[in-house]
Chains A and B, each alone.
Chain A
Amino acid sequence: SAVISQKPSRDICQRGTSLTIQCQVDSQVTMMFWYRQQPGQSLTLIATANQGSEATYESGFVIDKFPISRPNLTFSTLTVSNMSPEDSSIYLCSVEHGGMGLNEQYFGPGTRLTVT
């Protein structure tokens, strides 16, 4: 298994500012993913981040709004830029771990963001 931590666990931010969320894994992984989950809703994939290459964004998400870094095989950051209240959500990172299953993902605890 993989143990994932995220920082911060929660934050309250003013509109127009930016917040960078950190995701740390206790083992080296190739693929990392960033999701958004609005209250009471399912998870929506934002982007896939592989070390050594630019992140791949899903439809509706752009790099200017959600820049992602992946400097090594155990760490990634997601920045939510120029925030508005609509960005209030839980942001989760996950890693693909192929140890046991072909596609078993481990998720971090999430970062609860509130934009005022």
Chain B
Amino acid sequence: LAKTTQPISMDSYEGQEVNITCSHNNIATNDYITWYQQFPSQGPRFIIQGYKTKVTNEVASLFIPADRKSSTLSLPRVSLSDTAVYYCLVVLSASKIIFGSGTRLSIRP
């Protein structure tokens, strides 16, 4: 399974756009890039998944360059409630997923 590398922590302020970049140099052809969010005392929650280019949903955008060796999760206009740990994973379909260390995002007023 491909290993991912992402910053341990990030700080930002309410109303800002936050971009969290993840590197996955050994991503395989059939792997998908997936991001999860975890609040304290809760299980992780699926945010977004993509294979290439750009994916956008009501929560976030995911940018994936052509070589797919990295990806960037973009959170528009963050609020205090976006304070959480964000995990980047590369996964095969219908397969187990392995979590990396995640990025602890702190949003300040």
Contacts and interface: CB of A to CB of B under 8 A. Distances in A.
A105 B97 contact: yes
Contact of A110 (B34, B43, B93): B43
A87 B101 CA distance: 20
Among B43, B45, B97, which residue has the most Cβ atoms of chain A within 10 A? B43
A101 B99 CA distance: 18
A31 B94 contact: yes
Interface string B16-33: 000000000000000010
Contacts of A102: 32, 49, 93-94
Contacts of B49: 101-104
A8 to B, nearest CB: 14
Chain A interface, DSSP helix/strand/loop, else mixed: strand
8 contacts: A33-B97, A42-B99, A42-B102, A43-B99, A94-B43, A103-B32, A109-B41, A109-B42
Interface of B: 32, 34, 36, 41-46, 49, 87, 91-102
Interface of A: 4, 30-31, 33, 35, 42-45, 48, 92, 94, 96, 98, 101-110
